[in-house]
Structure 1
Amino acid sequence: SNFFYCLTGFFIQKNKRHTIVSQVWRQICGFESALVVAQDVSDPLAEDTNLEEQREEFGFVLHDQANVLLHLFYLAIDTRVILLSTAVTPGDNTLQLTIADHGSLVFLVLLGAAFALDDDKIVGGYECQPYSKPWQASLNSGYHFCGGSLINENWVVSAAHCYKSRVEVRLGEHHIALSEGNEQFITSDKVIRHPNYDSWTIDSDIMLIKLSKPATLNQYVQPVSLPSGCAPAGTMCTVSGWGNTMSSTADSNKLQCVEVPILSDSACHNSYPGMITDTMFCAGYLEGGKDSCQGDSGGPVVCNGELQGIVSWGYGCAQKDNPGVYGKVCVFSQWIADILSNN
């Protein structure tokens, strides 16, 4: 299938609310949401030194033009991988991926459609009023891949699973594909993940980015307040991002917003048994319909003017009984204070 040849040059990652495609993918392959979890390894900025974190067995899902879901098993290897070619036999339960790893070949076995982790971005929301979220950042490495939140003129908070050793932080954006005259592009000086971040459980999914120069604060660029305490269940929050809208009409190049309530701990644990840690909370609607999605990762969840959450992960987007899971910023207050004071 020609679809699978479009995988060339992409690195497989675990399902998180990360960007699913680069501009190159869109231009060459023409699939906006063909690959659920991937990262462009041809990106010169994507050094991704955290290869130890990739030494794990990851599940991921692909779907082709016929929407055939494939749950694959990723055999982790030591170095960055480039998918060279694939072969799939109709009706067979094996998809063979030939991978370049210093001459060795790795084969991936199709386990069947055990579960489907769909495309991921703001769903069921609306275009934010331009510049109404002046803390919103876009993390860019040749393309938008994650969101972030400006917390003072020197620091941005995002999700640890968005980590790259170098990144360009884009502030003052609304339409990320256009230059509107209010943008500030600032490279990172330091990127610091939480020491307890676990790439498998996605625990402590938070990182701080120190800007190489202070952001200029104005009506388009302003920090968001850190939480004074943890928000209770029922609190309404706004999630924003440039992720996939799963809509043919919404333009995800324009910042999208959605309002979601914080769910109770019991509802959160019931939705994801054994997967929710003390550094996470759920927000959304158990009936589905409104959610964050891929490309929104690292972005803000703002409740009553305070940054309570970081877009982290979830099964699918806006699916019934699978609300969004967010990093719980209030439990990281001391860590954030320590990093800011020591750096």
Structure 2
Amino acid sequence: MMHNLHRLLLFNVLMCLGQNALGSEIIKGKKTNKKSMLYMASVQNSSNEHICGGFLITPDFVVTAAHCDGRNPSSVVLGTHNLKKVNETMRYGIKKCKHPSYRNVVKGNDIMLLKLSREAQLSKKTITTIPTPSHEINIQDNKTCSVAGWGYTRTGGNLVDKLQVVNVPLINLEKCQKAWHGILPANVMCAGGYGTKKGFCQGDSGGPLVCEGKDRKQHMAVGIVSFNNKNKCDYPDVPNIYTDISKYLPWIKKILDKRDC
């Protein structure tokens, strides 16, 4: 009986997240180097307020979380780590390409592509793209990856102006499902939170989970920040959940080939 009640409570948490999740902040992180992570995007509303993270994968497409659509995104900012230093040349209009099967984070498919109104001018000093997997992957457990964002740095805090990053270990999916009492959707991956005191929290969904490639020189976006156990950011009792990008490659490729959704 108690086990079923616990499952019901966790399900209610996820339902709440699916309806009004703001995304995720970075917990126990640090400011990023100005010359790194130049693929990071700030997804913003009509008031030019940051609502979600994202990342540039081609000169005209940004990836973010589908649930960010509930915050009414209208533009993307590229080319700065400091959101107080934004000019209109950094701002791009968007067309939203939300996964057709997305309903809420409980059911998964929490992925959205944003087609930019014009191509970003790539430069090693200001804006770069980040690769995504070319095929389905299974990254080894406990591998250290990173997640970045402009969200809160503590529970109940405020958004930050300067991009923050933190290293997080990948967590075995079976162990993760057990910690979440078997209610996770399909096509997700787990990293940070559980047992680490590091990870993300409400405030900046859509950012990338970034891991090193085999040669350790090439970094790759493998996941998209999706959700955690609401309001437990500083000492999470369950792993953080990301959308597994490698499970959506045919859908992504179709949009990129058409350059439209």
**TM-score normalised per structure 2:** 0.80
Task: Give the aligned partner of residue 296 of structure 1.
Answer: 204
User: Runs in 1 of length 4+ with deviation above 4 angstroms?
Assistant: 247-251
Q: Rg: which structure is higher?
A: 1
Q: 1:128 aligned to 29, 32, 46, which one?
A: 32
Hey, what's the Cα distance between the residues in 2 that align with 1:251 and 1:206? 22
Residues 216-255 of structure 1 aligned to structure 2 (within 5 Å): 216-218=121-123, 219-228=125-134, 229-230=136-137, 231-246=139-154, 252-255=160-163
**For 1:110-259, what aligned pairs fall within 5 Å after superposition?**
120-141=24-45, 142=47, 143-163=49-69, 167-179=74-86, 184-188=90-94, 190-199=95-104, 201-218=106-123, 219-228=125-134, 229-230=136-137, 231-246=139-154, 252-259=160-167
Amino acid in the other structure paired with 1:243: G
1:261-320 Cα shifts (integer Å, max 9, x gaps): 110012210221222222111101422410111222001111111110101001032434
- Consecutive unaligned residues in structure 1, runs of 5 or more: 1-12, 21-119
The alignment covers a number of residue pairs equal to 230
- What residue in structure 2 maps to residue 103 of structure 1? none
Higher RCO, Cα 8 Å, sep 6+: 2
Paired residue type of 2:39: W
RMSD: 2.5
* TM-score between the two structures when normalised by the length of structure 1: 0.62
1:280 aligned partner: 188
Does the 8 Å CA contact 1:172/1:183 hold for their aligned counterparts? no
Conservation of the 8 A alpha-carbon contact between 2:132 and 2:221: yes
User: Could you say what secondary structure the match of 1:337 adopts?
Assistant: helix
CA distance in 2, matches of 1:19, 1:282: 19
Q: Deviations over 1:179-229 (max 9, x none)?
A: 4x79611011x2011112131514010001100110111121111001134
Deviation for aligned residue 1:321:
2.7
Query: Equivalent residue of 2:178, what SS?
Result: helix
After TM superposition, give the deviation of residue 250 of structure 1 in Å.
Answer: 9.9
Q: If each structure's helix is expressed as a fraction of its own residues, which one has the higher value?
A: 2
Q: Would the aligned equivalents of 2:105 and 2:226 in 1 still touch at CA under 8 Å?
A: no
8 Å contact 1:182–1:220 — kept in the other structure? no
Question: C-alpha displacement at 1:232, in angstroms?
Answer: 2.7
Kindly state the Cα deviation for residue 19 of structure 1 after the two structures are TM-superposed: 3.5
